[in-house]
Amino acid sequence: MSTIEILDILARGGTFALAVMLGLLFLRDARHSLAARLGILFATGVACYALLSSNTIAAVLGPVDPVLNVFAVPTGVFFWWFATALFDTGFRWRMWRLLPMLAVVLCAAGNFLSPGDSLFAMISASGWQIINISMMAHAAILALRDWGDDLIEPRRRFRIAFAILVALLGIAISALELRYARSGFPDWVFPTHGFTLFVLAMGFTGWLVATPTDLFGARDIRRRGGAGRDLSPENRPLARRLEAAMAEGLYREPGLTVGSLAEHLGTREHRLRRIINQGLGYRNFSAFLNAHRLEEAKRLLADPDRAHDQVLTIALDLGYGSIAPFNRAFRAETGTTPTAFRRDALSS
């Protein structure tokens, strides 16, 4: 066994240990956060994949190999579930999210059960990696899409590193597996792959351990009407000015961002983000705006004098650009549509 092979085995063993540690770190928030629970699945998949993607290690696992494959094969799906739950503010678990899992399992079965040089095996392997690449690209888009809206600063910084490093390197690994699906991997691929996995796992685990606040926002508690509570004395006047601006209806301004709001209040954006997150308990700026806009929407929809106003008119007056985001936010907050809410409120 060469020195490079020994180093590759050590790197993969280190990745396995770090992935287990990641799973334990996610476990601390698993009770309150679906993203953390999905993170445990992702960490388990990475741990198994790090071992099985080495021919040397896989050869000595024997009967343990099929058990580890159960978690290693859908690692890309676990990754997509975790990233979507972490970065998509409107994430809800739906049964259709199992479809990529079904597709990956079918492709993996076709790849494993067919002769390695058969056309069906090649199609199965290609389909498997194309699905993985698609999910990773979608995760990178989600990480960047709502970057400006995120009020949890550690998660906001993490979005950039996640999109650039994890997703792109994951896509590169899948592309390599797709490229050498039939011809076999060159010797340089395995150690490069093992060291890359180790560096990523070490960087992410080290950063997560050093993160001073909660990545998932699981311990944030929304405290409406309590501006300035749990804030330092120098931040309380700004928190009161913020609530006063909201009470005057500033939330009605279309396209309002945390940056433009900070400019209106004459403060720095990062300071305002911290107050809205840590002082008022909101994980993202959209939730903060919706809390004010939807409270006013419920009042207007229940007002008999506004019974003839169109729902679209109310939505636009409250700062929404169209009816669709208003309907989504209203249903998420109340469990019903604005029209049904108005009907029930006026009838009673």
pLDDT exceeds 80 at position 154: no
Residue 101 located in a structural domain: yes
Look up residue 241 and give its two tokens.
Answer: 């000015």
Torsion-angle region of 200 (φ positive above 0: left; ψ -120 to 50: alpha; else: beta): alpha
236 within domain boundaries: yes
In three-state secondary structure terms, 311 is: helix
Residues 198 and 54 in one domain: yes
Q: How far apart are CA 98 and CA 77, in angstroms?
A: 9
Residues 324 and 247 in one domain: no
Please give the full DSSP string across 87-142, using - where no structure is assigned. Answer: H-TT----GGGGHHHHHHHHHHHHHHHS-TTSHHHHHHHHHHHHHHHHHHHHHHHH
Q: What letters, b where the CB count within 10 A reaches 16 and e where it falls short, cover 327-342?
A: bebbeebeeeebeebb
Does residue 143 sit within a domain? yes
pLDDT at 226: 44
198 plus 234 within the same structural domain? no
How many folded domains does the chain comprise? Answer: 3
Residue 328's domain comprises 294-348
Q: Please indicate, yes or no, if residue 232 is contained in any of the structural domains.
A: yes
pLDDT, tens digit, 9 for 90 and up, residues 237-246: 888 899 899 9
Distances in whole angstroms, Cα of residue 237 to Cα of each of 81, 244, 260, 273: 41, 10, 19, 15
Are 169 and 239 contained in the same domain? no
**Are residues 62 and 90 both part of a single domain?**
yes
Stretch 316-345: mean pLDDT, rounded?
A: 91
- φ/ψ region of 249 (left if φ > 0, alpha if ψ in -120 to 50, else beta) reads left
Rounded Cα–Cα distance for residues 56 and 60 (Å)? 7
Q: Which amino acid, one-letter code, is at 276? A: I
Q: The tokens of 16 are what?
A: 């396995």
What is the C-alpha to C-alpha distance for residues 284 and 146, in angstroms, rounded to an integer?
A: 9
Indicate if 111 and 245 belong to the same structural domain.
no
190 and 229 belong to one structural domain: no
Residues 79 and 159 in one domain: yes
Q: Are residues 93 and 160 in the same domain?
A: yes
pLDDT digits (tens, 9 = 90+) for 247-268: 999 999 998 999 999 999 999 9
Is 289 part of a structural domain of the chain?
no
Determine, yes or no, domain membership for 316. yes
In a domain, 215, yes or no: no
CATH (domain of 314) = 1.10.10
Average pLDDT, the chain: 84
Cα–Cα distance list, 201 to 20, 51, 152, 184, 294 (Å): 10, 14, 22, 26, 41
Q: Is residue 288 part of a domain?
A: no
Query: Do 202 and 224 sit in the same domain of this protein?
Result: no
Q: Are residues 20 and 165 in the same domain?
A: yes
Give residue-wise pLDDT tens across range 116-125.
677 787 788 8
Same domain for 143 and 238?
no
